Structure 1
Amino acid sequence: MTDRYMGSGNVAEGPYGPTGPIPAHLPDRLAITLWDFSWYTRAGAGDVYADLDAACADAASLGYNAIRICAAPLLLFGDLGLDDLARDLEIEGLGPAASGGYYGQRTRWYDTPGGYALDLYAHLEALFAAARRHGLVLILSSWEYQQSPAFAASPRWFDAIDAVPFEARYRLLAEAWDRMLAWVDAHGFRDLVALVEIHNEVEFSILPPLTDEAATEVARLGERHPDLLVTASYGKPPHLAMHRLPAGLGAAQCHVYSYGVLDALQSRIDIRSEGTEGFPNAELRALLRPDAPTLEEYGRPAEWKLRSTVVTDQMIYGYDWVDPDAWDAWLDAEYPRYAEVMHREIESRVIAIAEWARWQGVPALIGEGWVGYTPLHGGFEESETGRELAEHGIRTALGRGVWGVVLCSNAAPHHPMWQLREWQQRVNALVRGM
């Protein structure tokens, strides 16, 4: 051993306890499956969420104990004159495509054929009841200023929330949550609420920045419901400057995506932009299915649907018509160049979130992750490579005292990854310490 002075090493490292206290009636650890808005946009006859009791039973059999959803508080309880729409909500998806089929047919989360209507109040009550029967709790959020209204046949939902002045939208959300929680109380479901998020991915939604003034709405909502954890969800928190997050968040519910090689491919084929001259470029055309129509032949969804979602027409065309085998082959070939940085990025982001939560004395959750947005039938994240990245993030999170994690954003009944049943059971047992 050298005698040279190498530093005192006086910053203690682990073992790490929980990042912050949680209500006593909730599980010590949350194994989360992300049902987002799909629990009502994929609920037609014979679809995966038509029978919520069966869906909850299946999730529980795989070891999940928490479901994260868009609870549509603005539609249901926003006091916007939409009660009749909520009681007979016609789901259309992104609509029929000009060249046949429907827009989003091979795009994750947007593969919604529609063609049915449902009473969303009754559907929500059925979900709570099924969750209770199968030992599940719910993380309640809203995707309404990000994409949920785009799946409706009528623009009324989007038009109503879009008419609200920009600076008043957090107050609208907070007041809607108050009314929704009163409904939850009236139905005896309050103990099933694990977390209330004023909105999903606030920085990637049609919302003002969550600065101090806006953050007061989150804090006030938490003060009115001190028995509940109330927060806002961040899609990409400022990992190198977490002190910029506002005070008053009741939990650190942040998402950890390490795009790495996926980002390199997306940049190469310019798939996430809109209005690009000459789209699709040569690189994307080389990856398309042989039967792909031209962009002009395929057309685009109704203008109001595109305004009500953060997904662009270029993304919809690209993901609907890319050859998933060619997509995966490119990622597999290029991944070794990105492997180390993707592992480090996942680890460093998880640690930053956990330590900010510990500093604030609140629980931390990773509500989405780990690689990123892929075509519906792209298998990179479901592959051994993608699962290893996911497990790396999960083990890092558990080691740092994070309260809840998703196995993967794609591990849900409406994604092909749901069929990896043994993997989900094994990793959920790890999450829950079983």
Structure 2
Amino acid sequence: MTERYLGSGTVAADRSGLTGPVPAHLPERLAITLWDFSWYTRAGHGDVYADLDAACADAAALGYNAIRICAAPMLLFGGLGLDDLARDLDVEGLGAAPGGGYYGQRTRWYDTPGGYRIDLLAHLAALFVAAERHGLVLILASWEYQQSPSFARSPRWFEAIDAVPLAERYRALADAWDRMLEWIDAQGFRDLVALVELHNEVDFSILPALEDGGADEVARLRSRHPDLLITASYGKPPHLAMHRVPDGLGAAQFHVYSYGVLDALQQRIDIRSEGTEGFPNAELRALLLPDAPTPAEYGRPADWKLRATVVTNQMIYGYDWVDVEAWDAWLDAEYPRYAEVMRREIESRVIAIAEWARWQGVPALVGEGWVGYTPLHGTFEEGEIGRGLAEHGIRTALDHGAWGVVPCSNAAPHHPMWQLRDWQREVNALVRGN
């Protein structure tokens, strides 16, 4: 190894220190499990979130110390005349499908059988109690302008928030959060709040751009609650031009997905579009189960439910009826062509987020990642390839000062990946420095 000086770019710098300060009472690092809206849409009798104490105990046993959820602030505290719905929410899911089953039955996150009613405010209180008992903190977000209301039997929740003019939605969200935080304070749960996100993935939700009023509302809410970390999250931040992210966010909770080979497959089979003539195309038909109905035979969820979510009916049909073995085989075969670019993309995106956070002096988190949206029983991301990409992202995030990170978006009780218990324990021990 030469001792000759070859320029400042060759001098190693330690960037592993946190990108920004966090409140002293919160964990030094967050090992995050993503429960999104599923913690109340999969809470029927005998389902994974019916017993929140058991679910929290299990998460803690796997080494998690943080849970990220949709806290449904607009439903619970939006002042939209939905109090009766909040205390008696009829969860339907996307609705019954012809021939038995339900729409979304083999579609990740949308596999909601429904058929029960829930007091969502009481369920939230129970989650705080269970989290405290098991040493967990909560990251509170809203998925309401992305998909949460689509799982209700009644369209009232969606219609109420959709009636808020587009330009006023960030203010409405901030006001709802303000009231929710007052309630949290009154319940004695404030120290369990690790982070508040005005909304999840503002760039993929029915909201204006964050710079069009959203960042101002984050700043207003931060001024009302200066002891809390408050921000908004991006699904795909502008990694090549991070100066476009507006100032004023209290944390960089941005998501890192490297679709790569998955995106190549999705484009090939045109599964994420809407209203494509001749759907499904020949490439998708070749991947469907032998008994798959046609889209006309299968039908589609109610129109209002599709308006209430950013996924399309082609996605619901395709993921419900794709042969996951054929799906995974295609990804496995084609992955070598994309391997290096996917690793580099994960690395460069994580570093861009961390460096932006360090420049802003705020903590960085990766609350979702790493490959992308796969069928419920697909195993590409859970397999050796996907786990390798996840571990690369996690190590990169820790090396560059991230405060919190998910092992994988699919590592949660409502996904099959929850059964990879030893892997989760190992990864979470790495995150927490144990």
Please, what TM-score do these two structures have when normalized by structure 1?
A: 0.98
| 1:243 equivalenced with 2:243 (yes/no) | yes
**Which residue number corresponds to residue 40 of structure 2?**
40
Structure 1: how far apart are the matches of 2:27 and 2:117?
35
1:142 Cα deviation from its structure 2 partner: 0.1
One-letter identity of the residue aligned with 2:126: A
Decide whether aligned partners of structure 1 residues 277 and 359 sit closer, same or farther in structure 2, where only a CA change above 3 A counts. Answer: same
1:10 Cα deviation from its structure 2 partner: 7.0
Structure 2: how far apart are the matches of 1:10 and 1:341?
23
**Which residue number corresponds to residue 61 of structure 1?**
61
Matched-pair contact (CA < 8 Å) for 2:88–2:120: yes
**Which residue number corresponds to residue 174 of structure 1?**
174
Decide whether aligned partners of structure 1 residues 2 and 14 sit closer, same or farther in structure 2, where only a CA change above 3 A counts. Answer: closer
Structure 1: how far apart are the matches of 2:33 and 2:208?
28
Deviations 1:165-224 (A, max 9, x none): 000000000000000000000100000000000000001000001115331100110111
Decide whether aligned partners of structure 1 residues 293 and 14 sit closer, same or farther in structure 2, where only a CA change above 3 A counts. Answer: same
SS in structure 2 at match of 1:255: coil
Structure 2: how far apart are the matches of 1:180 and 1:397?
31
Structure 2: how far apart are the matches of 1:272 and 1:155?
24
Structure 2: how far apart are the matches of 1:251 and 1:81?
32
**Which residue number corresponds to residue 380 of structure 1?**
380
One-letter identity of the residue aligned with 1:135: G
Matched-pair contact (CA < 8 Å) for 2:64–2:136: yes
Matched-pair contact (CA < 8 Å) for 2:269–2:283: yes
1:6 Cα deviation from its structure 2 partner: 5.3
SS in structure 1 at match of 2:405: strand
**Which residue number corresponds to residue 232 of structure 2?**
232
1:15 Cα deviation from its structure 2 partner: 4.3
**Which residue number corresponds to residue 136 of structure 2?**
136
Matched-pair contact (CA < 8 Å) for 2:16–2:398: no
**Which residue number corresponds to residue 194 of structure 2?**
194
**Which residue number corresponds to residue 101 of structure 1?**
101
Decide whether aligned partners of structure 1 residues 5 and 177 sit closer, same or farther in structure 2, where only a CA change above 3 A counts. Answer: closer
Alpha carbon RMSD of aligned pairs, Å?
A: 1.4
Please identify, of 250-259 and 8-17, the stretch whose mean Cα deviation from structure 2 is larger.
Answer: 8-17
| 1:270 equivalenced with 2:273 (yes/no) | no
SS in structure 1 at match of 2:128: helix
Structure 1 unpaired stretches of 5+: none
1:5 Cα deviation from its structure 2 partner: 9.2
Q: What pairs up with 1:193-342 in 2 under 5 angstroms?
A: 193-211=193-211, 213-342=213-342
Q: What pairs up with 1:47-126 in 2 under 5 angstroms?
A: 47-126=47-126
Decide whether aligned partners of structure 1 residues 322 and 212 sit closer, same or farther in structure 2, where only a CA change above 3 A counts. Answer: closer
**Which residue number corresponds to residue 390 of structure 1?**
390
Matched-pair contact (CA < 8 Å) for 1:99–1:297: no
Structure 2: how far apart are the matches of 1:315 and 1:263?
13
Matched-pair contact (CA < 8 Å) for 1:273–1:312: yes
SS in structure 2 at match of 1:414: coil
Deviations 1:327-361 (A, max 9, x none): 00000000000000000000000000000000000
Structure 2: how far apart are the matches of 1:161 and 1:40?
19
Structure 2: how far apart are the matches of 1:6 and 1:180?
55
**Which residue number corresponds to residue 356 of structure 2?**
356
| 1:408 equivalenced with 2:419 (yes/no) | no
Structure 1: how far apart are the matches of 2:390 and 2:184?
34
SS in structure 1 at match of 2:368: strand
1:9 Cα deviation from its structure 2 partner: 2.9
1:14 Cα deviation from its structure 2 partner: 1.8
Structure 2 unpaired stretches of 5+: none
Structure 2: how far apart are the matches of 1:2 and 1:255?
39
| 1:154 equivalenced with 2:137 (yes/no) | no
1:101 Cα deviation from its structure 2 partner: 1.1
Matched-pair contact (CA < 8 Å) for 2:253–2:364: yes
One-letter identity of the residue aligned with 2:300: R
Structure 2: how far apart are the matches of 1:388 and 1:374?
17
Please, what TM-score do these two structures have when normalized by structure 2?
A: 0.98
